[in-house]
Every structure is written in structure tokens, then in C-alpha cells.
Amino acid sequence: MPAAKPIPRIIAGPALRHCDEQHFTLWFVCRERLSCLRLAILGADFDRELNASEVHCIPLGQHAYQYLIRVSETALLTKDIPLTYELFESNSERSLFADVDELSYPQRPSGEFIVKPHIDKLLHGSCRNAHHHSSDALVAADTQLAGCNDINQRPALLMMSGDQVYVDDIAGPMLYAIGEVIKLLGLQQEQFVDAPIADSTQISYQPEAMYQRHLNLLPKTQYKAKTAITRWYINHPIFTSSLAENHLVSLNELMALYLLYWSPELWELIDIPKEVPGLSAAHTQRWQREWTHLLAFKAGLKQVRRLMAHVPTYMIFDDHDVTDDWNLTARWELAAYGHKFSKRIIGNALIAYTVFQGLGNAPARFDSEITPDLDALFASPNPAAQDALIEKLLAFEHWHYSLQTTPKLLVLDTRTRRWRSESNLGKPSGLMDWEALMEFQAELVNQPNVIIVSAAPMYGVKLIETVQRMATLCGGSLLVDAENWMAHPGTANTLLSIFQHRKTPEQFIILSGDVHYSFSYDVSIRFRHGGPQIYQITCSGFKNQFPEKLLPVFDKLNGWLYGHFSPLNFFTKRKRMSIRGRRPNGERSKRLVNQSGIGIVEIAPSGAPTKVAVLHGDMTETEFLPPRH
């Protein structure tokens, strides 16, 4: 039997997170706890040992320590020039990342980046499902950067607007790999209450346990469903995803998933069999199909790491980062948070999001309320500390954040501050409640132009929204993920009022994802000269697509029924808005693009987009051209 491969010192990363003229944030995961660290930033006249407040370490397990380097100074980073970061331990002159494979771009130093307070170009997108058959667009973005010798042509940032991981849609081979990573890194275990198992050590990763969690492990509850005609009670799974057979439940599973999404080295330490005895014929075929797709995912991870090591990256959650239908209706919330085991599952996903995504966006927002409890849990794991942290995370109201760039960038939390339906608890909740929308409006005051990041499109495909509304009337809001900005009257009317207010910015760019296809709208207010110009740009997914045969039908029907000149528009909530779809590559009737990709937006000094495009995994590009007037 061959000897086991040693765990590399750097397990994941490095990844640049929040970086501007006053802040430098760097994320990575190490095999061991590090001693005194020294950071050097060439081009910024910064080279010194870091103090304890600038190095945040979380012991994920026996052989995994997450580090977040966060330095804040008044004039830390020089804007618009090449900068290079290096991190050293103690008195060593060898960079911690010197042995990380394929980390630098051709003829460029490793760790080279640029700070652009004025956003002239950015990358954006959402929905990266590791075992989906489509190509990984983040790999394409890295390939494009590798061919760019002028660092000034690099994007100012990469915005990931949701579903960075799929907690509720796990391939069988991925679940097997998660089990191996937990053992390999000695990730921490936990105890459960009101669950079919006592603790996470009893979770099986053997073939006979694959694709079975929705039957025996995930909780169910009785709750009332209501249609326009009648109402009934059903014993419905709390976790409603149709692909929940391997839904993750424990915190160590979630940590392993994040590491597998971002670490090429871990895949080299795990041997996932292609042939697995003990599965049914159907599950055997599914396993082998997923195994093949994960091989392609694994092949691109070094490039994804290189991209994130050189471009400041920001993130926000959407449903699949926690679970499908997360907070979709008030009734779902009552069922999910009223059951101790389902509450723990949701809370674990929020802990993992905080550790791997949230902290890097705006570390200071977590310092007083969350970080002390987070550190206490990982220093001494116990059920009481875990539940206490989950309670705080569920009540936390600062997931959103903004960047003081030009244009100002506002990242919205559309998942945790919902406007619940007052007429029927089974109807979809509004994506933001009144208080959250008022805070959002306050951020817009005195801004000439802004970039808004909303996980779900603010202006969706009207035909699809109509189908979701019809399903809601029949009591099936959970079946069709009937959540959009127009689904709740209060949220819809308040949002549209904000855009129509005469003191709002003159230029809005809305970046969104979620829907697994891409499109772009130019929006203005009917019957008003001047007023704000709104550009909505939806790019989804990084590695996901809408069902191929269905979307062209929706695209054509939507054009017939809700085209720009259709009188049906005057019967919608958006009747005061003129919405024109941009033409992908100039095509006459097509508006929706169903191919995995990453969005590229180039922005003029006025705040208006000069280029709206999607770069696909095969390196082809779709440019959304302005509508004909």
C-alpha cells in the first residue's frame, strides 16, 4: 500500500478579500498554527510584523487553521499602481506561498494586484455548482487575465453574488470526498439534539448511505398549505430542495465543502473511486456522471485560486449557501426554526458562511457581536457555545455592506430581513422589509451614481414571475422558488418608489444572479424627462445553467406577451417603468443567454456601463448591445 501523501502547508488560498486604500485583507488556510507573521507590500512602503489584532486565526481542526490577515491604516495602499504582497513567518525570508503551485501569471510576480477606487471594470456572477456539467467560468476569467500584460486593464474587483457553494445539492462523490477531508484534517465534531443521530461521528459516508439523507436524516414537519380554493395539511420536508438526497447537516461537512471548492491540493490527497459497489443501478449511473463532472471541476481549481489571489473578491449569500427556500415564506421559517435539528443545520451553514465568506467582506462589522463567540466555539467546541453563536447569527442584521468606491457599491442582504406576508403565511415573503429598504434608501442619498448588488434580479423575466405567482395561488410557492422582488406588494411598491424618487442617483447599475441564465435590461421611468437611468445586469451561473430546452420557450413567450410595447405591461406592478431588454450579440428577438459564464462590466466616469458582456467557459463572449430606440 503506497504511503499517504503529506498534507501541504498551504491547504487553500491565498485569496484577496476586502482591499482599498485603507484596508488589506488576505485569506488562506494552513496545515499548522503559524508563529509571528510579517507582511510586505511592495509598492506601498509596508513591511513589518503584524500584531495580534491583525491576524485572526480559527482552528478548523487538528490540521487546518484558517487565517484572515486584516491590516487597516489611513494611507495603506497606493491606488492605481501595481502592488505585490508577500507573507513571511518569524525570521524566514521565504514567502509562505512560495511553494503554492501555479500561483503567478506569466512574466508577472506572484501576489500582484491593483487598488482601483474608481471602478472602471469589474467581474461578477453567481451559482457555482461543482458537479454541474457546464464549464467553470472562473477558469475562463483567469485565462483571460493570464493573457493581459497590462495590470491597469485588470478588473477592480470580483463580485460573487450568491450560491458560491451548494450546501443542499451535493454529488455522491463530493459527499465521499467530504468524509475523507474530515478525517484527513481532523475537523471538529459536534453533538445533535432532536436528531436521528447523537453526533456527527455517526454520519455515514459509505455507499449505502449515499442519496438517502432526505429519507432518514433530514427533519420533516406538519404544516398548513393553502390555495385559492382550499387548505390541507401535509407532512412536508423542511428542506424542500428536490436534490436534497445528500444535504449537508454538520459544521465539519460544511467546512470540508468550502475547502474542496477552493483547494486543488485536497483533491490530490483523496482517491474517489469511479466504481462503487452497494448502489442501485440508477444511483451507480448518477455517481459515475457526477464523478466525471467533478474531475473537470478539479482540473480548474488552480486557475480559480490564482484569480482570487490577484483580484479583490467580495461575496454575499443566497439560498443555496444555506438551503433551498431559505426564509422563502413565513410558514417555512416557523417550521425550520421551530425544530432544533433543522435550526442547527441552518445555523451551521451560517457559521460556515461567516468563516469562509462573510468575514472577508467587512471584518470590522463582526468584531463586537460575532467574532468573540466564533472564536470561543472553535477554541472549545460544545453544544451550548454552538447554539449561542447560531442565535446571534440568526439575529444579526449587518450581513449587507458597502464599498466607498466610485461609483459607490452597495451589497444587499436579501435573505435574512424579509417582509413577511400578512395575508397568508404561505405566500412568499418580500426580499427586504421596510426598515431594510429605508436603510438602503439612506445609502443612496447624495450619490450621483451607484452599483447595487442584489442576489435576485430586481427586474426579472415577467413571464417566469407570472408562472411563480400562479403556483403561489395554488399553494406551490416552495415548489417553484416563488421569490422575486415583485412577489410581495409591500417590497415591490417600496422598491419602485425608491427608484422613482427625485433625489435618487442619476445612474443605477444593478448586478444580480440566481436564475441560472443571463440577461440585461435598460430601465427608465415612463412619461418623465430625465430621471434615473437604471441598468440591470444579470449573470448566472459561474457553473450552472437553466434547463436547456425550456428557456428558449420562456424567452420567446416573454417577448410576445411582455415585450416593450405590450399593453400587458400596464397591468403589472412595474407599469411606471419602461424596460428594454438588451440584445445578446445583436440578435433580434433573443434576450436570455443560457450558458455558464462570468459577467464583465466596463463603466464610464459618468457611472453608465460602456460594455456589458458575459465570458463563457469556452472563451467565447456574449455582449449585450443596447436596445434600438
Specify whether 83 is located in the same domain as 173. no
pLDDT in tens, 546-598: 988 888 787 777 675 666 666 665 556 566 778 888 999 999 888 899 999 99
Any domain includes 286 = no
Helix axes 281-299, 172-185, angle to 10 degrees: 60
Mean pLDDT of 312-326: 95
Dihedral angle over CA of 556, 558, 562, 565, nearest 10: -20
pLDDT value, residue 233: 45
Q: Are 354 and 366 in contact (CB under 8 A)?
A: yes
CA distance 586 to 602: 18
Dihedral of the alpha carbons of 448, 453, 459, 464, in degrees to the nearest 10 = 170
Question: Computed from CA positions of residues 188, 344, 356, 269, in that sequence, does the dihedral angle turn out positive or negative?
Answer: positive
**90 and 121 share one domain:** no
Closest C-alpha among 254, 305, 268 to residue 8 = 268
- Residue 141 sits in the same domain as residue 207: no
pLDDT digits (tens, 9 = 90+) for 271-306: 999 988 889 999 999 999 999 999 999 999 999 999
Is-cis flag, bond preceding 541, omega within 30? yes
Q: What is the CATH number of the domain that holds 49?
A: 2.60.40
Q: How confident is the model at residue 465 (pLDDT cuts 50, 70, 90)?
A: low
Answer yes or no: do 111 and 247 share one domain.
Answer: no
Co-location of 3 and 104 in the same domain: yes
Q: What cell numbers appear for 385 in the block?
A: 457555545
The grid coordinates of residue 33 equal: 498554527
Helices of type H across 82-234: 137-146, 172-185, 213-216
Nearest-angstrom CA–CA distance, 357 and 248: 18
Paired with 27 in beta bridges are 15, 68
Range of the domain at 61: 1-115
544 and 484 assigned to the same domain: yes
Do 628 and 600 sit in the same domain of this protein? yes
Reading across the β-sheet that carries 158-160, which strands appear in turn? 313-315, 158-160, 121-125, 597-603, 609-616, 621-625, 583-584
In a domain, 305, yes or no: no
The domain boundary, picked from 344, 362, 396, lies at 396
- Give the chain's domain count: 3
**Same structural domain for residues 109 and 147?**
no
Residue 229 has pLDDT above 50, yes or no: no
pLDDT in tens, 151-160: 999 999 999 9
- Of the listed ranges 140-144, 196-200, 241-245, the one predicted with least confidence: 241-245
The span from the CA of 140 to the CA of 161, in Å, is: 18
Res. 226: pLDDT tops 60: no
Same domain, 528 and 573: yes
- Percent of the chain predicted with pLDDT > 70: 90
pTM for this model (two decimals) = 0.94
- The 10 Å Cβ neighbour count of residue 384 is 8
